[in-house]
C-alpha cells in the first residue's frame, strides 16, 4: 500500500456527536452511500434526518485522480455505493511541490459535502493516507456508533417491545416517540434496518430488534 499522500494545512477537529434536534454535527463519520443519499437542506448543505451535516469523515480507496492547476480531483470508493467525487483546492505553489495519493491507496478524508454543477462532491480539507488497516475497521465502527447516537432513541423503544411475537407497530412507535416527526422515525428505521439492527416481522409496519 502506498503511503504517499497530500495533506492540507487544516487541523483536525475531534469528533463531537450532537444529539440535540436540528444541531450541527462536527466531523461525523460517514459512508459514501450515506453521503450520496443525504437529502439537500439548501444548495450548500445536506442533512441526515433533521441533523445538518457540517464536516464529515470518509475512509476509502482511491480509484482515480486528476490533478489540475487549482485543484486535485479524486474518485474514492468504500464499497458501500458508487465512488464519491472528492475535490481538494490547491494553489500553484502547493501543486508544484505536493505528491498525490496514488490509485489503490486507502485514505481518510475530512471535508464538507457540496454540490458542484449538479454533482455531489466532498470538498476535502484534509486527506491522509492510512498506514494501519485497522483504521478502516475503526472508521466503520465509528460510523455505527455516531449514527446510533442519532437514532438510538428509536432502537431503544423497539428493543423494549421485541419480546412480543410481532414486535412493535409503526403506529405504536409513533405514540411512544410523539416528540419526533414521522420523517425522523422513518429515517431512523431505514438506517437501523440497513445496518441490520432492526427487521420487519409480519409486514412492513411491524418491527423487532435483532
CATH 1.10.10.10 maps onto the chain at: 135-209
- The confidence band for 74, taking pLDDT boundaries of 50, 70 and 90, is very high
Q: Domain 135-209: give its CATH code.
A: 1.10.10.10
Among 33, 191, 30, 37, CA closest to 112: 30
Measured over the CA atoms of residue 135, residue 137, residue 140 and residue 141, the dihedral's sign is: negative
Per-residue pLDDT, averaged over 15-20, amounts to 35
Convert the pLDDT of each residue in 100-109 to its tens digit: 778 899 999 9
User: Reduced to 3 states, what is the DSSP secondary structure of residue 28?
Assistant: strand
Per-residue pLDDT, averaged over 137-166, amounts to 83
Of residues 74 and 9, more confidence is placed in 74
The reported pLDDT for the residue numbered 95 is 56
CATH 2.40.50.140 maps onto the chain at: 24-131
CATH 2.40.50.140 fits 24-131, yes or no: yes
Per-residue pLDDT, averaged over 102-130, amounts to 90
The reported pLDDT for the residue numbered 147 is 72
H helix or E strand, kind and range, residue 65: strand 56-67
Per-residue pLDDT, averaged over 37-51, amounts to 74
Measured over the CA atoms of residue 88, residue 53, residue 10 and residue 144, the dihedral's sign is: negative
Amino acid at each position: 500500500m502506498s503511503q504517499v499522500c497530500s495533506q492540507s494545512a487544516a487541523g483536525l477537529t475531534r469528533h463531537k456527536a450532537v444529539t440535540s434536534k436540528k444541531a450541527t454535527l462536527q466531523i461525523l463519520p460517514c459512508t459514501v452511500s450515506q453521503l450520496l443519499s443525504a437529502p439537500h437542506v439548501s444548495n450548500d448543505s445536506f442533512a441526515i434526518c433533521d441533523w445538518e451535516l457540517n464536516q464529515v469523515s470518509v475512509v476509502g480507496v482511491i480509484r482515480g485522480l486528476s490533478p489540475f492547476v487549482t485543484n486535485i480531483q479524486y474518485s474514492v470508493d468504500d464499497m458501500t455505493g458508487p465512488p464519491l467525487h472528492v475535490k481538494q483546492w490547491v494553489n500553484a505553489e502547493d501543486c508544484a511541490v505536493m505528491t498525490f495519493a496514488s490509485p489503490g491507496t486507502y485514505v481518510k478524508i475530512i471535508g464538507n459535502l457540496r454540490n458542484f454543477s449538479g454533482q455531489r462532491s466532498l470538498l476535502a480539507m484534509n486527506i491522509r493516507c492510512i498506514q494501519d488497516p485497522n483504521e478502516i475497521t475503526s472508521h466503520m465502527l465509528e460510523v455505527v456508533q455516531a449514527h446510533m447516537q442519532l437514532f438510538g432513541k428509536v432502537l431503544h423503544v423497539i428493543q423494549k417491545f421485541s419480546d412480543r411475537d410481532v414486535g412493535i407497530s409503526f403506529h405504536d412507535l409513533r405514540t411512544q416517540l410523539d416528540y419526533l416527526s414521522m420523517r425522523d422515525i422513518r429515517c431512523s428505521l431505514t438506517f437501523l434496518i440497513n445496518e441490520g439492527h432492526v427487521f420487519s416481522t409480519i409486514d412492513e409496519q411491524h418491527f423487532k430488534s435483532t
